[in-house]
Amino acid sequence: MEFKRLAENELRHAFKSWHGHCYYPTCVENARKENLGNMKLIKPLLAGLAAIIIGAGFALSAQATSITGMLNISGTATYNAPIATATQVTQFNDVVTGGLNSGSFAGIPAMVHVTMTSPYIFNPTTPSPALWSVAGFTFDLTATTFLQQSSHGILIEGTGIIMGNNFDPTPGIWSFSQQSGKGTTLTFSATTSAVPDAGMTATLLGLGLAGLVGARRLHQRKAKA
C-alpha cells in the first residue's frame, strides 16, 4: 500500500505541467509544449513501472510459500585424510537434528535421524544432491563458497536449494564446522539457513519510483530555465 501511495503521488507530480497562475497565450503554448515533452519522457517510464509491478506481483506470489528459518544437525564424519589435508567426507554416521530449529523447521525436534549423502566432496567444490534429508525436507548443495582448513579444524560454507513439504524450492546457506581431533573420524556440527528473496520486490519497485522522481525533477528544472 505504501508503494501505491508513493506511485500515485509521483504520477500526479509527473503529469502536472499546467501553469495555473498564467493565462497569456505564449505561456499557455509553452506549457502545452512542455506537457508534450513530458509525456514522451513519462510514457516509457510508466511502461517500465507497470512491468516492474507485474513482475513484483509474480515474485510475491512465488515467495508466499518459501521455506524460512534454520536447521541444526550434528554427527560424525569420516574423512579421506587428516583434517588438515582432507578433501571429502567419505562417510557420515549418527547424524541427528539439534535443538532450537526455527521457521519452517521449528516443528522438527532434537535427535531426529538425518539421512546424509556421501561422499561429500568439498575440495574442489562439487555439487552434492540430497546432501541431507530429514522430516520431508531435502537440501541440494550446489557449491562450496568458503573453505578454511588446517590441523585446528575445518570451516565450510556453501549454497544450495532446500525443498520439500509442499514449500517452494528456497535458496539456502550450508555452514559446516569440524573441530580439531585425532584420526579421520570426528564429530561435526552444521546448520542450513533458508534465505527467501524477501527484499528483491521492494528494490524493483523502489527503482521504478526513483525513475519517476528523476523525471519529475528534470521537468521542474526545465520549467525554471
pLDDT at residue 10, rounded to an integer: 47
pLDDT higher than 60, residue 208: no
Q: Find all residues with CB under 8 Å of 92, minimum gap 6, and list them.
A: 75, 76, 77, 78, 116, 118, 120
Other CB atoms within 10 A of residue 58 CB? 10
Q: How confident is the model at residue 196 (pLDDT cuts 50, 70, 90)?
A: confident
Of 158, 159, 168, the closest CA to residue 198 belongs to 168
Other CB atoms within 10 A of residue 117 CB? 17
Q: Is 49 helix (H, G, I), strand (E, B) or coil?
A: helix
pLDDT tens for 175-190 read 999 987 889 999 999 9
Residue 13: alpha-carbon gap to chain centroid: 33
The one-character DSSP state at 66 is B
Higher-confidence position of 26 and 168: 168
Contact 6, 209 (CB under 8 A): yes
Model-level pTM?
0.62
Higher-confidence position of 199 and 193: 193
Residue ranges covered by each domain of the chain: 2-64+199-224, 70-194
Q: How far apart are CA 112 and CA 212, in angstroms?
A: 53
Computed over every residue of the chain, the mean pLDDT equals 77
pLDDT higher than 80, residue 8: no
- Written as nine digits, the cell of 84 is 588438515
Contact 172, 192 (CB under 8 A): yes
The one-character DSSP state at 203 is H
* Highest mean pLDDT of the ranges 8-12, 50-54, 64-68, 199-203: 64-68
